[in-house]
Structure 1
Amino acid sequence: MLRIAIQAKGRLNEKTMALLADAGISASVGSRSLIAHAKGFPVDLLLLRDDDIPQAVAMGTADLGIVGLNEVEEKGVDVHRIIPLGFGGCRLSLAVPREADYKGLEWFNGCRIATSYPAILSRFLKEKEISAEIHTITG
Structure 2
Amino acid sequence: MLDNSRLRIAIQKSGRLSEDSRELLSRCGIKVNLHTQRLIALAENMPIDILRVRDDDIPGLIMDGVVDLGIIGENVLEEELLSRRAQGEDPRYFTLRRLDFGGCRLSLATPADEPWDGPAALNGKRIATSYPHLLKRYLDQKGISFKSCLLNGSVEVAPRAGLADAICDLVSTGATLEANGLREVEVMFRSKACLIQRDGEMADSKQQLIDRLLTRIQGVIQARESKYIMMHAPTERLEEVVALLPAPSARPFCRWPATSSAWRCTW
Shorter-chain TM-score: which interval? over 0.9
Unaligned runs of 5+ in 2: 1-5, 82-90, 154-267
Is the 8 Å Cα contact of residues 75 and 106 (structure 2) preserved in structure 1?
A: no
- 2:128 match: 114
Partner of 2:94 in structure 1? 80
The one-letter amino acid of 1:71's match is V
Amino acid of the residue matched to residue 58 of structure 2? Answer: I
Alignment of 1:1-139 (within 5 A): 1-76=6-81, 77-139=91-153
Aligned length: 139
Displacement after TM superposition at 1:11 (Å): 2.4
List 4+ stretches of structure 1 deviating above 3 A. none
For 2:34 and 2:50, locate their aligned partners in 1 and report how far apart those are by CA, in whole Å: 9
Aligned residues of 2:9 and 2:68 also touching (Cα < 8 A): yes
| Matched position secondary structure for 2:14 | coil
Deviates more, 1:55-64 or 1:30-39: 30-39
Greater fraction strand: 2
Gaps of 5+ in 1: none
Q: Give me the CA root mean square deviation.
A: 1.2
What secondary structure does 2:107 align onto?
Answer: coil
- Separation of aligned partners in 2, 1:33 and 1:2: 18
Equivalent position SS for 2:50:
strand
**Alpha-carbon distance in 2 for matches of 1:16, 1:83:** 14
Q: Percent identity?
A: 46
